[in-house]
Structure 1
Amino acid sequence: MPEVTTPYVTGTPCWTDLMAQDQQAALDFYRDLFGWQGQIGPAEFGGYAVCRLNGKAAAGIGPAMAPDGMPESPTVWTSYLATTDARATQEAIVSAGGTLLVPVMDVGGLGRMLVAADPQGAVFGVWQAVDFHGAGVVNEPGALIWNELHTDDIGAATAFYGEAFGIEVVPVEGDGHYWELKVGGRAVGGASLLDNDPPGTPAHWLCYFAVDDVDSAADAVVKHNGTLLVAPFDMAAGRMAVVADPQGAPFAMIKIGPR
C-alpha cells in the first residue's frame, strides 16, 4: 500500500474534500464506489467525516454550509496544497493576486487551513499540518492519485503558483497541451488549458482517483445516479473517465497503464 507517513512538502497536493448537500448520501456513494469507510463526525468539527481506505485517511466529506446571506457553494471536490506556514502562504496568495475565500483558521489540534482562488478563479485549499498530515494513502485503487489545474492562462498560473508555493509549471515534452506541476523537481500534479473542457467551464482543480477498472467504475457511477461527463478513453498515462457524483461533484478516475 502506498502509505504516506511524513508531512507533505510545501506546494504538494496533500488532501481533498467534498462539501455535500446530503452528507450521508455522499458517504454511502463513495463507500460503494471506492470502499471508503467514514461516518458523520463530531459536532465540534461540523460533522466533517474523514473517510478511510484500509484504515488510512483517503479523503474528507462534510456537510455543505453557506454563511448567512450567502448562496450555497457548488458541490465540488477541493484540492488542498501543503504548507508549513498557513499565515505566510495566505499573505503570499494575496500578494500574488489570489482571492481569499476562507481566511486561515485552526482545525482543532489537527492543523490550520484556508481556502482561496487563483487569479483565474480556480478554487483550492491550503493545509498546514500539525497532528494530521493529510492523505495517508495515495496512488492505489480507491485513493487520490493526481490533481490537475484547468486554466485559461498557463503563464499567469505559472507566476501565481510559483510565487505563492514555489511550484514550477513545466511543459510535458512532446505535448503542447499539457504541463506538469513540480515541487523540488518532482511531478506532483498537472495543468491543462480550458480549451479542452466544455465551453463555459470555469477555471478549476480536478481530482483523480485510481481504480482497477475504469469502465466498470464509470458504469457503477451511472448506476448509482451519477453522470458520465467524459466516457472512458485511453491516453498517455493509461485509461481514464470523468464523471460527476449524484450531487453533481465532478471527478476523474484513472487506471495507470504499464510503464
Structure 2
Amino acid sequence: MVERTTPWPVGAPSWADVLVSDMERSKAFYTAVFGWEYTGGEADFGGYVTATKDGRAVVGLAPPMEGAEDQESAWTVYLAVEDSAATEQAITEAGGVVYYPTMEVGPFGRMGIYGDPTGAAFGTWEPASHAGFGVTNEPGSMAWNEAMVGDFAAGKTFYTEVFGWTYADMSGEGMEYAIFTTPGDESGMTGGIGHDPDQEPAWTVVLEVDGTDEAVQRIKVAGGSVLVEPFDFEHGRLALVAGPDNEPFGVITSAAPPEEN
C-alpha cells in the first residue's frame, strides 16, 4: 500500500478519472465493485465527484462537458507537474497535441488534457489543495497505469523529453514494453509504456482487488462486461473489463512480493 497526502513526484501518475454518461448509474456500479463512496458533485465544478475508500481519494468521475455529451467514455491518467504552463509548452515542443489547455480547477489545482505524438491522450495535474491519489496499491485503489502508444520509440522519447522518464525494457515476442520511472521517485508509483499493433494508442488503468474472479463476478452483476477473462501472470491475476459506458479498465490481485532471504 502507498498512502499519500503530499504531491506526487513530477512525471508520476498522480490522478485518474473516468468520463461517464450517467453519474448515478456509474457511482452505483463502482460502489458495487470496489466499495467506493463519493464527495463533491457541485455545479461549480461540472458535477465532478471524487471516489473515496476509507476516506482517502481514489479516482474521479466526471460527467460530459456541456456541448460534448456524445464524447466517448474513457479513463484519463494525469501526470504530476510543477508548472502547468511550462509543461504545456514542453509538450507542444516535443510534438504533442493540446486538447484542453491548462486551466484552474478552483482551489484544487491546475490541469490540462493532451495527446502524445503517437495518439495516446493523457492529462497533467499541478496540485494545490488536492495532491492526487490518496492511496494506491490496496484493494479498491489504483494499482497500475500504462500508455499503449502508436510508436514505441517515439512514445518513449516524448515522455522522457517532457517528464524525464527512464525505462527498464520488458519487451517480449510480439510486443514492445517497458517499465517507466520518474526522476527521484521513491513512491513506488511506476507504470508501463508499450506498443501492440492490435491496440489503439491509449492510456489505461488497472485497479487492485482482493480476488480477481470475485471482482469480475461483481462487475457482471453490476452491469459491466468482461473483455478478457482472469488469467495468471508473474505479477498476479489480471482481468480486463469494462464499466457501464463500455469504458475499459483492468482489475488485478497482485502477487505477493518475493520474501527477502
Contact kept in structure 2, 1:243 and 1:252, CA below 8 Å: yes
Q: Supply the distance in 2 between the matched residues of 1:250 and 1:182 (Cα, whole angstroms).
A: 24
Contact kept in structure 1, 2:120 and 2:150, CA below 8 Å: no
Q: Deviations over 1:27-46 (max 9, x none)?
A: 11111111110155111111
Q: Supply the distance in 1 between the matched residues of 2:138 and 2:164 (Cα, whole angstroms).
A: 27
1:194 equivalent in structure 2: 196
Following superposition, the deviation at residue 178 of structure 1 comes to 2.4
Equivalences for residues 62-141 of structure 1 within 5 A: 62-67=62-67, 72-141=70-139
Go from structure 1 to structure 2 and tell me whether the alpha carbon gap of 1:236 and 1:185 turns closer, same or farther (over 3 Å shift): farther
Following superposition, the deviation at residue 172 of structure 1 comes to 2.7
Go from structure 1 to structure 2 and tell me whether the alpha carbon gap of 1:173 and 1:19 turns closer, same or farther (over 3 Å shift): closer
Q: 1:206 aligns with which of 200, 204, 207?
A: 204
Q: Deviations over 1:70-93 (max 9, x none)?
A: 672210111000000000000000
Equivalences for residues 110-259 of structure 1 within 5 A: 110-172=108-170, 177-184=176-183, 188-195=190-197, 199=198, 201-259=199-257
Following superposition, the deviation at residue 52 of structure 1 comes to 0.6
- Structure 1 unaligned residues grouped into runs of 5+: none
Following superposition, the deviation at residue 108 of structure 1 comes to 0.4
Aligned length: 253
1:14 equivalent in structure 2: 14
Following superposition, the deviation at residue 192 of structure 1 comes to 2.2
Give the CA RMSD over aligned residues. Answer: 1.8
Contact kept in structure 2, 1:27 and 1:39, CA below 8 Å: no
Contact kept in structure 2, 1:110 and 1:129, CA below 8 Å: yes
The percent identity for this pair of structures is 38
Q: Counterpart of 2:52 in structure 1: which amino acid?
A: R
Q: Supply the distance in 1 between the matched residues of 2:43 and 2:171 (Cα, whole angstroms).
A: 49
Q: Deviations over 1:150-171 (max 9, x none)?
A: 1231100111001111112330
Q: Supply the distance in 2 between the matched residues of 1:173 and 1:160 (Cα, whole angstroms).
A: 19
